């Protein structure tokens, strides 16, 4: 099946944008940045890829709101399925823009489960510094792999980042 593969241009760890699987498979991909019009790129690709059947986007959390909207246009107007793989939230527990709109507009969601070191379901991404200590502040985007991030359950995320576990302002009044 002919598929267009996209990966973020920002990840320069391996040279050209490439999708790597955990089992060692790899495939070169088209690099996207926040300015790329994904709908236009796919529509233009149809001129040469007559049998295009699928779009796959890795690290989809790096998409912009407009790009997620373009993906909905690909599925509805071009009638090409789009598969997106990415994170729900960053190392602070905050949503990525791309993830926020993918979660809101996706027609189907399939969760790939990950396990915390305790054996529980991991839902959070904990960033580690060079000494392996948890990090709770910094830029949202920091490219890194297994050496920079660890998946944890909410309990262990809260234990590792006391700043996340602090009480937050209440936005309603008791009646």
pLDDT digits (tens, 9 = 90+) for 133-149: 888 787 776 666 556 88
DSSP string, 80-96: --EEEE--SB-TTSPBP
Q: Which residue has the higher pLDDT, 57 or 132?
A: 57
169 is catalytic: no
Q: What is the pLDDT of residue 174?
A: 54
Max CA separation in the chain (angstroms): 63
Looking at every residue in the chain, the average pLDDT score rounds to 87
Q: What is the pLDDT of residue 168?
A: 55
Q: What is the pLDDT of residue 39?
A: 98
5-19 pLDDT tens trace: 999 987 666 678 777
User: Residue 123 to residues 86, 88, 93, 103, 142: CA-CA distances in angstroms?
Assistant: 12, 8, 10, 15, 19
Q: What is the pLDDT of residue 162?
A: 82
CA neighbor of 74 nearest in space, from 106, 28, 112, 29? 106
| Mean pLDDT value of segment 37-52 | 93
If pLDDT is split at 50, 70 and 90, which confidence band does 52 have?
very high
Check 40, 44, 59, 173 and give the catalytic one: 59
Give the C-alpha separation, 75 to 9, whole Å: 23
27-39 pLDDT tens trace: 889 999 999 999 9
65-111 pLDDT tens trace: 999 999 999 999 999 999 999 999 999 999 999 999 999 999 999 99
Determine the 3-state secondary structure of 32 from DSSP: strand
């Amino acid at each position: 099946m002919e598929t267009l593969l996209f990966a973020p241009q920002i990840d320069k760890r391996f040279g050209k944008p490439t999708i790597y699987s955990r089992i060692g498979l790899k495939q070169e991909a088209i690099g996207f940045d926040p300015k790329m019009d994904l709908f236009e790129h796919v529509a233009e690709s149809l001129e040469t890829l007559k049998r295009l059947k699928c779009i796959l986007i890795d690290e989809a959390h790096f998409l912009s709101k407009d790009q997620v909207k373009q993906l909905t246009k690909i599925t509805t107007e071009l009638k090409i399925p789009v598969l997106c793989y990415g994170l729900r939230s960053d190392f602070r527990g905050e949503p990525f823009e791309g993830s926020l709109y993918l979660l809101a507009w996706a027609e189907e969601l399939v969760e790939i489960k990950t396990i915390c070191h305790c054996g529980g379901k991991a839902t959070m991404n904990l960033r580690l510094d060079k000494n392996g200590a948890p990090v709770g502040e910094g830029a949202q985007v920091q490219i890194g792999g297994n050496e920079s991030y660890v998946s944890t359950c909410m309990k262990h995320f809260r234990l590792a980042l006391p700043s996340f576990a602090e009480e937050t302002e209440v936005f309603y009044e008791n009646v």
